[in-house]
Structures are given as structure tokens and as C-alpha cells.
Amino acid sequence: ADLTDAARRIAAPTLCIVGDQDGSTPPDLVRSLAGLIPGARFEVIRDAAHIPCIEQPEALVTLIRDFVASLPEGKSAHG
């Protein structure tokens, strides 16, 4: 399915994260997705493949915390 148009309509704050060694969803693919989503942030976790939450949990948590902290009040997905 081509979800290009759907991605362009995402209005929620978006953080796209990928492991630098991910062979299933390579960094260039995730970067392209982030480029479709207005205002999306793209981050790469070093020394991680497809499951950064297991391979580099501290790095993932740091990225998510920083992203959430950067959101204007009332702009979170549940805000």
C-alpha cells in the first residue's frame, strides 16, 4: 500500500527513530518517511538494528524524553 498521502496528513508531533544497522527498515527509508510528515523529527540510534528498545534502551528513552520535553504545552498526542 502506498501511504504517502496519509503520511503527509499526519498532524501530531512525530519522532521517527531508527537503528543505524536496521536491515528491515533501513535508515534511508525512515528518513524518507520523516520527510513526508510535516515537522517530523528524525533520529538514528547508533549500534542498534531493528529493535532499539532492546539493543539501546537508554538511547531510545533519552530521545523520547527529549522529544516530549520539546513539545509545546498541549501538543502531545494525549494533550
Overall residue count recorded for the chain in this entry: 79
**Tens of pLDDT along 15-63?**
999 999 999 999 999 999 999 999 999 999 999 999 999 999 999 999 9
Q: Are 38 and 9 in contact (CB under 8 A)?
A: no
Residue with cell 544497522: 21
Name, in order, each residue with C-beta under 8 angstroms of 12's C-beta and a sequence gap of 6 or more. 77
Sign of the torsion formed by the C-alpha atoms of 30, 36, 38 and 39: positive
**Residue 74 banded pLDDT, cuts 50, 70, 90:** low
**Coil/strand/helix, residue 26:** coil
Question: For residue 62, which amino acid is it?
Answer: T
